[in-house]
Amino acid sequence: MYPLSSRGSCTYHLHKNILLRFKGSESFGLVKKAATAFRLSDFNVLFQQIHELNLELHSYLERADLSMLNRVHFSGDRYNFTTSNNVETINKVLRPYRNYHIVALLDKVRMMLTRWFAARRKQACGMTTTLTTSVKKLLQVQILFKLSIIDNLSTYVIEWLSFICGQSRVLRASILKVQEIDPHQYEVRSSSTINVVNLSQNKCTCRMFDLEKLPCIHALASVEMAKVSRITKCHPYYRKDYLCNRYDKSVMSQESCTLPDIVLQKICHSPDVRPQPGRPKTTRVKSALEVALDRKGPKKLHACSQYGNGGQNRTTCKN
C-alpha cells in the first residue's frame, strides 16, 4: 500500500511487555536508553549491558527485530517519535460512535476531520514566524548570562537553568568550544566528547542533527561561529509554509462532492458475517499491566488511631 514507508514497533507497548515478562528496573531503563540512542556505538554499549544483566531480555529483543525497535537501526525517518499514540487517540475519540451504522460512523469521522483541518489550518496560517511555534521556541536565542559566568557554573546548575528556561539546546550550545576545520566543517568540544559538524551536508557525528533534521547543540554552536542562520539548517518539514500546505485541502461532505459514475453504479452488499456469541465489545482489550494499574487504588492516608486526624499518627498528633 505504501512502498516508501518503513515499519516500526511502538516502544511504549514494547516497554509494557518487558515489564510484564521480565523483572529488574535497571535493565528496563537500559532498554529505553537503547531504543532512543542516536549513535550505533552508544547502542552497542547499552545492548551489551542488557546482555550482562538479563540474558533472556537480550534474546527477546533480538527476536523482536532490532530494525523496528531502535532509532539507530530504523531504515526510515522516525524523527523523535517512537510511539503509536495517534492510533490510541483516534481510538478514544471514536469510542462513542462505534455502535453506529457504517455510514453514520464514516460521517462522524468526516465531521471530526473537517473540524480538525479547519482549526489547524487557522492556527498554521496565524503563525508569524518562518518556522513553526515549537521549533522557534527550541532554537530562539535568549542568553541570560554572560559566557564568562556560565563557564564557572557546574553541569548540574546549567542543566537546571536549561530546564527553567525551556531552551536547553540553545543554552548548552552557548558553552561549547568550537574550532573551524574548513569553511564547512567545525570541531565542537564539550567536557567529555568531541563532535564534528558538517554544515554543508547538515550532519553531525552525534547523529541527532542527521535524524531529527534539526540543529543539535553542536550544530547550533557551529552556525554561531559561521554566522549562518539556524533557520536554513532546519528541514522544510518544520517551516510554516509546509505546515499550511498540509492543511490546504478541505474535507467536504458527500453532498458537496461529485462522485464518478463508476462509483455511483456500484452496489455495495452487506458482508456475510456470522454474529459472535455474547454481547459485542465496545472497548479494546487491555493489557495485564493496564488492568493492574486500573485496579490499584490511591494510597490510603495515614490517620491518628485515637482522634482520626489525617496525615498524622498517634505520636505526632497534636491533639
Same domain? For 116 and 163 the reply is no
Is 215 a member of any domain?
yes
- Average pLDDT value over all residues in the chain: 79
Same domain? For 72 and 108 the reply is no
Q: 234, 215 in Cβ contact below 8 A?
A: yes
Is 296 a member of any domain?
no
One-letter amino acid of 215: P
Return the SS3 of 276.
coil
Is 283 a member of any domain?
no
Same domain? For 84 and 161 the reply is no
Same domain? For 10 and 77 the reply is yes
pLDDT tens for 123-132 read: 999 988 888 8
Is 153 a member of any domain?
yes
Number of independent structural domains in the chain: 3
Helix, strand, coil content of the chain in percent (nearest 5): 50, 5, 45
Same domain? For 139 and 192 the reply is yes
Same domain? For 162 and 114 the reply is no
Same domain? For 30 and 54 the reply is yes
Is 143 a member of any domain?
yes
CA distance 213 to 245: 19
Same domain? For 200 and 174 the reply is yes
- Given 184, 218, 240, which residue is the final one in a domain? 240
Q: What is the pLDDT of residue 79?
A: 64
One-letter amino acid of 112: M
For 57, the grid coordinates are: 531480555
- Given 240, 258, 277, which residue is the final one in a domain? 240
Q: What is the pLDDT of residue 254?
A: 72
Same domain? For 18 and 85 the reply is yes
Same domain? For 222 and 145 the reply is yes
Mean pLDDT of 260-268: 85
Same domain? For 65 and 119 the reply is no
Which ranges of the chain would DSSP assign to H, the alpha helix? 11-21, 25-36, 40-53, 55-63, 66-69, 85-93, 102-125, 133-139, 147-150, 155-165, 168-173, 208-212, 217-226, 240-246, 261-264, 288-295
Burial of 8 (0-12, 13-18, 19+ CB in 10 A): buried
Residue ranges making up the domain that contains 189: 133-240
Give the sign of the dihedral formed by CA 167, CA 170, CA 174, CA 177: positive
Q: How far is CA 5 from the centre of its chain?
A: 18
Which ranges of 22-154 would DSSP assign to H, the alpha helix? 25-36, 40-53, 55-63, 66-69, 85-93, 102-125, 133-139, 147-150
Mean pLDDT of 61-73: 84
Mean pLDDT of 82-106: 80
Is 110 a member of any domain?
yes
Is 2 a member of any domain?
yes
pLDDT tens for 18-29 read: 877 876 667 788
- Given 83, 111, 126, which residue is the final one in a domain? 126
Per-residue pLDDT band for 294 (boundaries 50, 70, 90) equals low
Mean pLDDT of 215-226: 91
Same domain? For 110 and 46 the reply is no
Mean pLDDT of 166-193: 83
Global pTM value: 0.68
HSE, side-chain direction, 13 A CA sphere, residue 9: 19
- CB contact set of 83 (below 8 Å; sequence gap of 6+): 10, 11, 12
Q: 130, 240 in Cβ contact below 8 A?
A: yes
Q: What are the strands of the beta sheet with 185-189, ordered from one edge?
A: 177-180, 185-189, 194-198, 203-204
